[in-house]
Amino acid sequence: MKKHIPNLVTSLNLFSGSISIVFAFGGNLELAAWFIGLAAVFDFFDGMLARLLNARSAIGLQLDSLADMISFGFAPAVIVFQLMEKTLNQPFLIWYNIHVFSLLAFIITVFSALRLAKFNIDDGQTVNFIGLPTPANALFFASLPLALTQADTTGAAEIQNLLSNYWILLALVILFSGLLVSNIPLFSMKFKNFKWSDNSLRYILLFSFILLFVLFSFYSLPLIIILYILLSILFFRKER
Model confidence over 54-77: pLDDT tens digits?
Answer: 767 778 788 989 999 999 999 999
pLDDT at 142 over 90: yes
Q: Which residue has the higher pLDDT, 204 or 8?
A: 8
HEC-encoded secondary structure of the chain: CHHHHHHHHHHHHHHHHHHHHHHHHCCCHHHHHHHHHHHHHHHHHHHHHHHHCCCCCHHHHHHHHHHHHHHHHHHHHHHHHHHHHCCCCCCCCEECCEEHHHHHHHHHHHHHHHHHHHHHCCCCCCCCEECCCHHHHHHHHHHHHHHHHHHHHHCCHHHHHHHCCHHHHHHHHHHHHHHHCCCCEECCCCCCCCCHHHHHHHHHHHHHHHHHHHHHHHHHHHHHHHHHHHHHHHHHHHHC
What number does CATH give the domain 2-239? 1.20.120.1760
Q: How does the average pLDDT of the chain come out, rounded?
A: 87
pLDDT band at 197 (very low <50, low <70, confident <90, very high): low
Q: Tell me: the pLDDT tens digits for 91-134?
A: 989 888 889 999 999 999 999 999 999 888 877 666 678 889 99
pLDDT at 195 over 80: no
What pTM was estimated for this model as a whole? 0.90
- At 193 the pLDDT is 62
Query: What does the domain layout of the chain look like in residue ranges?
Result: 2-239
Q: Tell me: the pLDDT tens digits for 27-51?
A: 999 999 999 999 999 998 887 777 7
